[in-house]
Structure 1
Amino acid sequence: MNEAQAPIPKPRSDLGIRTLSGVVMMLVAAGAIWIGGPVFAIFIALITVGLLFEWTKLVLELTPNPVARFFWILGGLAYVGLATAFLVFLREFAEIYILLGLIGLVISTDTGAYFAGRTFGGPKIAPAISPSKTWSGLLGGMTASALFLSILGHNTEGFALWQPLTGAGLAVVAQAGDFFESWMKRRAGVKDSGNLIPGHGGLLDRADGLVAVLCMTALLVVILQMTGQP
Structure 2
Amino acid sequence: MPRCGLPTFCGRTFRATTCARRWSSSDRARGALVDAEPQVTPSAAEAPRKSDLGVRLASAVVMLAIAGAAFWAGGLWLDLFVAVVALGVFVEYVRLVGKIADSASRLSSMVIFGAVYVGWGGLALAVMPEPLMLAVLGLVICTDTGAYFTGRSLGGPKIAPKISPSKTWSGLLGGMAAAGIWASLVVFSASYLVSAIGPTGASVAAALEVANLGMAAIAGAVLAIFAQMGDFYESWLKRRAGVKDSSRLIPGHGGLFDRVDGLLPVAIIVGTAWAATQAGL
Same fold per superposition (TM over 0.5): yes
**Shift of residue 64 of structure 1?**
2.8
Gaps of 5+ in 1: none
Map residues 58-137 of structure 1 onto 2, 5 A cutoff: 58-90=96-128, 94=129, 96-137=130-171
The answer as to whether partners of 2:139 and 2:183 remain within 8 angstroms in 1 is yes
Structure with greater contact order relative to length (CA < 8 Å, sep ≥ 6): 1
Residues 20, 149 of structure 1: CA spacing in aligned structure 2 closer, same or farther, 3 A cutoff?
farther
**Shift of residue 3 of structure 1?**
6.7
The answer as to whether partners of 1:63 and 1:188 remain within 8 angstroms in 2 is no
Tell me how far apart the structure 2 counterparts of residues 122 and 167 of structure 1 sit (CA, whole Å).
23
Tell me how far apart the structure 2 counterparts of residues 225 and 39 of structure 1 sit (CA, whole Å).
23
Is 1:200 the counterpart of 2:277? The answer is no
**Shift of residue 219 of structure 1?**
4.3
Is 1:164 the counterpart of 2:217? The answer is yes
Residues 20, 138 of structure 1: CA spacing in aligned structure 2 closer, same or farther, 3 A cutoff?
farther
Tell me how far apart the structure 2 counterparts of residues 221 and 156 of structure 1 sit (CA, whole Å).
15
Which moved further from structure 2: 138-147 or 213-222?
A: 213-222
Amino acid at match of 2:175: G
Tell me how far apart the structure 1 counterparts of residues 268 and 106 of structure 2 sit (CA, whole Å).
23
Amino acid at match of 1:181: E
Residues 189, 166 of structure 1: CA spacing in aligned structure 2 closer, same or farther, 3 A cutoff?
same
Tell me how far apart the structure 2 counterparts of residues 116 and 47 of structure 1 sit (CA, whole Å).
29
Tell me how far apart the structure 2 counterparts of residues 29 and 143 of structure 1 sit (CA, whole Å).
26
The alignment's C-alpha RMSD in Å is: 2.5
**Shift of residue 221 of structure 1?**
4.5
**Shift of residue 216 of structure 1?**
2.4
User: Deviation digits for residues 2-46 of structure 1, max 9, x if unmatched?
Assistant: 979977735625444334423432332233123223322321221
List 4+ stretches of structure 1 deviating above 6 A. 2-8, 222-227
Map residues 214-229 of structure 1 onto 2, 5 A cutoff: 214-221=267-274, 228=281
Identical positions, percent = 45
Which residue of structure 1 lines up, in the alignment, with residue 93 of structure 2? 55
Which residue of structure 2 lines up, in the alignment, with residue 36 of structure 1? 74
Rg (Cα) greater in structure:
2
Residues 124, 19 of structure 1: CA spacing in aligned structure 2 closer, same or farther, 3 A cutoff?
farther
Tell me how far apart the structure 2 counterparts of residues 82 and 63 of structure 1 sit (CA, whole Å).
22
Number of residue-to-residue matches in the alignment:
223
The answer as to whether partners of 1:173 and 1:216 remain within 8 angstroms in 2 is no
Tell me how far apart the structure 2 counterparts of residues 115 and 126 of structure 1 sit (CA, whole Å).
18
Residues 138, 23 of structure 1: CA spacing in aligned structure 2 closer, same or farther, 3 A cutoff?
farther
Amino acid at match of 2:190: T
Tell me how far apart the structure 2 counterparts of residues 78 and 84 of structure 1 sit (CA, whole Å).
10
Instruction: Report the 3-state secondary structure (helix = DSSP H, G, I; strand = E; otherwise coil) of the residue aligned with 1:161.
Output: helix
